[in-house]
C-alpha cells in the first residue's frame, strides 16, 4: 500500500518510519527546498519520549539534548527575581526528559528513514481527488501520482487539512500571543545550562546557551487581535519585535541588534487547532485522507509537548493501519477514538499554561514569580510540575514485525 505523507518535520517522518516497519510504502513530500535544521528549543518528555524509545532514539536524545540546571527570571536591571532548579523535571518524569532544538529531534528521526523512505523536497500537494480505490494527487511541481492513502502531517497551517476539511479559520483557536525564535553565534553573556527569562507584563524574552557557542532566543508577546503576530515578511516581523521589546531594559537592545543581523526567524501566532466531529463525521479523517500531529490537534507551541504528541499520533495511526491490514476505515476510527480526548485535555492545560509565559497583568506576573520561587521546595515542585506533566495514556500493543501490506494483499 502506498501512503503519501505531507510534511517532513517530526510527525511525518515518525509516521513514515512506522509504516515502513509494517511493510507499507510511504512517500514524504515537503514544501521546504531541503531538510530544516535548528528551530526553537523544546522540552521533550511523556508519550513522545516513549515513542522515541521504541524507535531506539534514547541515546541519540541524550547526545543531542541538554539537561538544564536552573531556570532564572530577571527584571529590567538584570536582577534575579525568581528561580528554581530544573532537576524537578527529571524527578517527575523518572529521568525521561530532555531539552533540545526541534530541528535536532527531527534530524534524529530522519536518520532512521534516510534511504528507506522516499522523500521529495521543494514540492507540495496542489490538489486531491478521492475515489473508492485511492487518491489522485496533483503536486505544485506538476507531477501526478496515485496513492492508497494520504496523511497530512504538515503542521498548524496544514495544506492537506485546508484541501479536505476547509479553511484554517474554521479550526484555529488563537490564544492571544505571538512567538518568535532565532539563534546566533558568539553571544555574551552565557549562563551554561541555565534558561534565563526576562518578563514584563505582556512580553518575555528567554535565552539559552547551546553547543558550538550558539545561543537560542525565544520571544513571546501578548497580541489580542493577532494583527502583529500575523506579520508576513521578515522585515515586518523584525519591526514587530523592535516595537515590543525595544527600550525595555535587560539585554533587549543587544538581542535586537543580533536580530537585525539574522536571516532566519521563526515567527507565528500562538494557536491551537480544534477539530470537532460534524453530523457524526470523524474529526481527523475524510475517506482515504487523515491527519496527525499539529495538523489534527495542535496544542500550541507554548504547551511544551507538541512534538511528543505529534510522534504519538503518528505511532498510533501507523499501528492501527498495521493492525487493520491497511483497511483505513477501522484504522482511522480507532486512532481517533484512542487519542482525540487525550489531545483535547492537553489543549485545555495548554491554554492555562500559555499565559504564564507573558502574564497580562502586574498581579499575574507577581503571582507567577512567587510560584516559581516556591518550586525551590522539592515537594511543592513535585506536586505542581508532576500534575502538569503527567501523561495519563497507555499505548496499545502493535505488531509491526508482520507486514500489514502483505496481509492486506492476501
What is the C-alpha separation between 144 and 2, in angstroms, rounded?
14
The confidence score (pLDDT) of residue 155 equals 94
Burial 10-39 (b: 16+ CB within 10 A, else e): bbbbbbbbbbbbbbbebbbbbbeeebbebb
How large a percentage of the chain has pLDDT more than 90?
Answer: 79
Tell me the torsion sign for CA atoms 292, 294, 299, 304: positive
C-alpha cell at 342: 487525550
DSSP code, position 396: P
The pLDDT of residue 145 is above 80: yes
The confidence score (pLDDT) of residue 389 equals 78
What is the C-alpha separation between 85 and 70, in angstroms, rounded?
4
Question: Using an 8 Å Cβ cutoff, are 176 and 222 in contact?
Answer: yes
Q: Quick one: average pLDDT of 322-348?
A: 94
Beta bridge partners of 149: 3
The confidence score (pLDDT) of residue 402 equals 54
Residue ranges in 200-327 assigned as alpha helix (H) = 234-245, 252-261, 294-297, 306-323
Reported as a single tens digit per residue, the pLDDT across 387-404 is 777 888 899 989 887 544
Q: Which residue has the higher pLDDT, 357 or 128?
A: 128
Question: Using an 8 Å Cβ cutoff, are 90 and 97 in contact?
Answer: yes
Closest to 95 measured CA to CA, from 53, 153, 143:
53
Reported as a single tens digit per residue, the pLDDT across 166-205 is 999 999 999 999 999 999 999 999 999 999 999 999 999 9
Question: Using an 8 Å Cβ cutoff, are 326 and 407 in contact?
Answer: yes
The pLDDT of residue 246 is above 70: yes
pTM for the full predicted model? 0.93
The confidence score (pLDDT) of residue 408 equals 45
Question: Residues for the chain: how many in total?
Answer: 410
Residue matched to cell numbers 530541528: 103
DSSP code, position 397: P
Chain mean pLDDT for the chain: 92
* Residue 408 CB neighbour total at 10 angstroms: 17
Q: Quick one: average pLDDT of 228-243?
A: 97
What is the C-alpha separation between 15 and 21, in angstroms, rounded?
10
Band (35; pLDDT cuts 50, 70, 90)? confident
Question: Using an 8 Å Cβ cutoff, are 309 and 297 in contact?
Answer: yes
Amino acid at each position: 500500500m502506498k501512503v503519501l505523507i505531507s510534511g517532513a518535520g517530526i510527525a511525518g517522518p515518525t509516521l513514515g518510519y512506522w509504516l515502513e516497519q509494517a511493510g507499507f510504502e510511504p512517500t514524504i513530500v515537503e514544501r521546504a527546498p531541503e531538510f530544516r535544521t535548528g528551530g526553537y528549543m523544546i522540552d521533550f518528555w511523556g508519550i513522545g519520549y516513549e515513542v522515541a524509545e521504541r524507535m531506539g532514539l534514547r541515546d541519540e536524545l541524550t547526545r543531542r539534548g541538554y539537561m538544564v540546571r536552573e531556570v532564572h527570571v530577571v527584571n529590567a536591571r538584570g536582577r534575579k527575581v525568581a528561580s528554581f532548579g530544573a532537576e524537578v523535571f527529571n524527578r517527575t518524569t523518572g529521568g525521561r526528559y530532555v531539552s533540545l532544538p526541534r530541528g535536532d529531534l527531527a534530524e534524529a528521526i530522519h536518520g532512521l528513514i534516510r534511504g528507506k523512505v522516499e522523500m521529495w523536497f521543494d514540492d507540495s500537494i496542489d490538489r486531491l481527488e478521492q475515489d473508492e480505490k485511492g487518491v489522485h494527487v496533483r503536486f505544485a511541481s506538476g507531477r501526478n501520482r496515485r496513492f492508497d492513502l494520504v496523511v497530512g502531517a504538515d503542521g498548524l497551517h496544514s495544506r492537506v487539512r485546508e484541501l479536505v476539511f476547509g479553511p484554517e479559520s474554521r479550526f484555529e483557536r488563537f490564544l492571544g500571543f505571538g512567538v518568535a525564535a532565532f539563534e546566533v553565534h558568539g553571544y555574551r553573556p552565557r549562563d551554561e545550562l541555565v534558561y534565563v527569562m526576562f518578563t514584563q507584563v505582556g512580553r518575555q524574552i528567554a535565552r539559552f546557551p547551546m553547543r558550538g557557542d550558539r545561543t537560542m532566543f525565544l520571544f513571546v508577546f501578548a497580541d489580542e487581535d493577532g494583527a502583529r503576530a500575523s506579520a508576513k515578511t521578515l522585515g515586518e516581523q523584525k519591526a514587530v519585535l523592535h516595537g515590543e521589546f525595544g527600550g525595555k531594559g535587560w539585554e533587549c537592545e543587544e538581542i535586537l541588534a543580533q536580530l537585525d543581523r539574522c536571516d532566519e526567524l521563526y515567527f507565528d501566532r500562538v494557536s491551537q487547532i480544534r477539530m470537532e466531529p460534524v453530523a457524526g463525521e470523524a474529526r481527523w479523517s475524510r475517506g482515504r485522507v487523515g491527519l496527525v500531529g499539529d495538523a489534527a490537534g495542535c496544542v500550541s507551541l507554548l504547551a511544551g509537548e507538541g512534538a511528543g504528541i505529534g510522534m504519538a499520533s503518528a505511532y498510533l495511526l501507523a499501528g492501527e493501519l498495521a493492525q487493520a491490514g491497511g483497511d483505513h476505515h477501522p484504522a482511522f476510527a480507532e486512532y481517533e477514538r484512542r487519542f482525540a480526548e487525550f489531545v483535547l485535555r492537553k489543549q485545555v492545560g495548554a491554554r492555562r499554561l500559555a499565559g504564564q509565559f507573558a502574564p497580562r497583568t502586574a498581579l499575574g506576573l507577581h503571582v507567577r514569580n512567587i510560584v516559581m520561587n516556591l518550586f525551590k521546595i522539592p515537594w511543592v515542585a513535585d506536586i505542581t510540575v508532576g500534575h502538569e506533566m503527567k501523561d495519563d495514556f497507555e499505548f496499545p500493543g502493535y505488531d509491526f514485525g508482520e507486514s500489514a501490506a502483505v496481509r492486506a494483499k492476501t
